[in-house]
Amino acid sequence: MVVGPDYMRAMRTAEADQVDLMLRQAFAGDSEARLVCNLRAAGQIEMEMVLPWEGEVLGYLALSRRVAPQIWLALAPVAIAPAWQGRRLGARLVAMTMKLVAIKAQSVVVIGKPSSYARAGFSVARAAGLRTPYPAHVTGFAGPGDDMPQAEVTYPDAFARSGA
């Protein structure tokens, strides 16, 4: 018997307000919701995925394009509705999305708790050669191969404008 979301799918345009509200609740503020809104307005989002359940969006994940390297993506934000947190739904959403990213042989950078993202293929060691505006100990990299890329990672202006 299924008692929660068992699949993910692309976000539908009509769900934008529901996602916005869920982001504000999950992060107890509006910086992540503003980030998503700014990324959408700038045409910087590559993919938005949701975990739907009984007409509601319980989980959300965005992959946005980097300014540099242009072919790379950033994973941010990842959110689960507060009442559904602690059930590993965020981990499932990230893992499923990263399988899609791997099929496309894309590279992704994430900022966050390393143990939260390691199971989905992110490596702090592989990110050691990256120069980002964020601390190295919370920067993870996932992509084809096993090299340690050397690159300046430039985020879209939406990140600075949102306070995320």
Taking the C-alpha atoms of residue 77 and residue 99, their distance in angstroms, rounded to an integer, is 18
List per-residue pLDDT tens for the chain, 164 residues long: 567 787 899 999 999 999 999 999 999 999 999 999 999 999 999 999 999 999 999 999 999 999 999 899 999 999 999 999 999 999 999 999 999 999 999 999 999 998 899 999 999 999 999 999 999 999 999 999 989 999 999 999 998 887 66
Number of independent structural domains in the chain: 1
Q: pTM here?
A: 0.91
Structural domain includes residue 22: yes
Structural domain includes residue 164: no
Identify the domain containing residue 34 by its residue range: 9-154
Structural domain includes residue 74: yes
CATH number of the structural domain spanning residue 103? 3.40.630.30
